[in-house]
Amino acid sequence: MTAGSDRGVDMRTQVGTVALSNPVLTASGTAGRATELGAYMELADLGAVVVKSLSAAPWPGNPAPRVHPTPAGMLNSVGLQGPGIRAWLADDLPALVERGATVVASIWGRSVDEFASAAGMLAGARGVVAVEVNVSCPNVEDRSRMFAHSPEATAAAVDAAGRAGLPLWVKLSPNVPDLVGIAGAAIGAGAEALVLVNTVLGMAIDPRRRAYRLGSGAAGGGLSGPAIRPIAVRAVHDCRAAFPTIGIVGVGGIARGVDAAEMLVAGADAVEVGTATFADPRAPAVVLRQLRRWCARHRVRSVRDLVGSVHQGQPVVPLATEHAAVAGMPEAGGVEPGSISDGPGPGASRPEVVPVVGTEEPGAQAGDAVLLARVRATLDAIDQRVALQAEQVGHLADAMTALAAALGSERTGGDPGGAAGRDQSGAPDGPGQAAERPA
């Protein structure tokens, strides 16, 4: 396998007993309930489509406004709006099956009985390979907490969801002091995989109006996006250390292939891409393509080789090497074998290089490893810049389309809105936990 070819990378993975063609999935709440993202990518090419959380009966959700942007993500308080599982089975699931998508249904309930009812409705559903049990939702049987904030409540909800007769993935909240303990309760109740993590509790206030920015008021909302990725990575890492054989799906702030790689190395078998679809509805496909290239560049023959590899404790090159490379490649001949430069200018220090284990010629081999790592990291940085530029070009194209439509409507006296922009073409309906795309 050459660094320039990604066709030799085995992308197959497995979450619990569920085999997947690759480890990139959509996140519940951001992919809609059916084929909303199908206009931007082939849904069958993804590892799975995880649909928006559904309850047994229709649910109206929270009052508007429901979403608010933050510097590194967004807050949402959609409130799990949905048509109910019966309507979803009749109106939405068939289209997903027809597109060849691998479907994971997500369910929620306000009581244990509601989880049992929702799960029972999914029993025998054609095309559904697993059920994601969203216990990160209000528990009306104990209004002071969520199911995911209690080991006992989590176990009860998971046990009730067993009525689906399908593999159970349990989506947990990071807003707890002992996530590993609650994860253990979910596993003990029958979960074969953990989905880590849901949104982080947050709030936004308009100081000028002295008012809450979300319609949920003092209840606040859930923070998603890049800001929570380190939290999700830590949760995945700690749960993999505690449960070496359990299935784990990492979710939270994944927008690039290298983000997915980080989550896999921490211990995830697969990842979900969510809030990134707001910047680009093609985000899951982009992450999958970048992850495949990243694996080829770093000579990873199978993504399964990445899963939990940080726990093996065998780094190949110093961490400082990757950081130094992002700053820019040195000029030819500017790197001394066995050392790395941490920047130009007089007095620049040269950190000690950790030798590569098992080499016959430590000096030369370490120097080669440093150079190779620099090249790889620089290519990663270029990949990221290209992805950002492509996103910006897409936004510019949307703006030009909208401008052309507005100019045309002025000449014809028609509606300036027209059909320009992504909002008219089935964009995803929200970030984090079942959020909706703002008007």
Catalytic residue positions? Answer: 137
Neighbours of 71 (CB within 10 A): 8
The CA distance from 137 to 157, in Å, is 11
Tokens of residue 61, six digits: 């959700």
Environment class of residue 178 by beta-carbon count within 10 Å: exposed (0-12), middle (13-18) or buried (19+)?
exposed
Rg, the chain, Cα only: 23
Length of the chain: 439
Q: Tell me which residue has tokens 């929702």.
A: 118
Helix H or strand E segment including 408: helix 362-412
SS3 129: strand
* Pair type for strands 270-273 and 24-26: parallel
For every residue of 164-199, DSSP letters joined together read: G-S-EEEEE-S-SS-HHHHHHHHHHTT-SEEEE--P
Reduced to 3 states, what is the DSSP secondary structure of residue 69? strand
Show the tokens assigned to 247: 């299935």
Task: Write out the E strands in 92-192.
Answer: 103-107, 128-134, 168-172
What DSSP string describes 236-303? Answer: HHHHHHH-TTSEEEEESS--SHHHHHHHHHHT-SEEEE-THHHH-TTHHHHHHHHHHHHHHHTT-SBG
Please choose, from the candidates 216, 170, 177, the residue with its C-alpha nearest in 3D space to the C-alpha of residue 197: 170
Task: Decide the pairing of beta strands 168-172 and 128-134.
Answer: parallel
Q: How far is CA 420 from the centre of its chain?
A: 28
List the end-to-end C-alpha distance of the chain, in Å, as a whole number: 47
CA 177 to chain centre: 22
Q: In sequence order, what DSSP letters do the residues of 355-387 get, joined into one string?
A: PPTT-SSHHHHHHHHHHHHHHHHHHHHHHHHHH
Distance CA 231, CA 434 (A): 19
